[in-house]
């Protein structure tokens, strides 16, 4: 059972970095640092969007309008942090 908890923790850790990469990419795209017509840039952006949007969309639905500032990635990172801490502080000790 501990192997399953470690696998879930690893998946959450990797998703944490995917969310951060997506946020940084969206900033680079918004400020025209990257060329949006480049095929590689477009495919990376599409991949990051498809990986993060299903988790961010429900959060955005309940967030108030902050005038163009999207804090849903921060909320999702806090949720992931909470779940990882819950795994290791509450659930993992039950199986050790």
Q: Average pLDDT in the 1-15 region?
A: 96
Q: Which domain holds residue 74?
A: 2-95
Q: For residue 29, with 0-12 CB atoms within 10 Å meaning exposed, 13-18 middle and 19 or more buried, which class applies?
A: middle
**3-class secondary-structure state, position 25:** helix
pLDDT of residue 15: 98
Q: How many domains does the chain have?
A: 1
- DSSP-derived secondary structure for 41-74: HHHHHHHHHHHHHHHHHHHHHHSPP-SS---HHH
pLDDT of residue 67: 83
pLDDT in tens, 21-70: 999 999 999 998 999 899 999 999 999 999 999 999 999 999 988 888 88
- pTM for the model: 0.90
pLDDT of residue 23: 95
């Amino acid at each position: 059972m501990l192997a399953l908890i470690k696998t879930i923790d690893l998946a959450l850790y990797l998703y944490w970095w995917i969310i951060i990469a997506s946020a940084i990419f969206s900033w680079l795209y918004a400020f025209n640092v990257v060329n949006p017509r480049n095929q590689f840039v477009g495919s990376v952006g599409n991949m990051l969007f498809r990986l993060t949007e299903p988790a961010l969309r429900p959060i955005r639905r309940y967030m108030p309008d902050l005038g163009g500032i999207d804090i849903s990635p921060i909320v999702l990172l806090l949720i992931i942090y909470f779940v990882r801490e819950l795994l290791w502080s509450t659930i993992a000790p039950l199986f050790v």
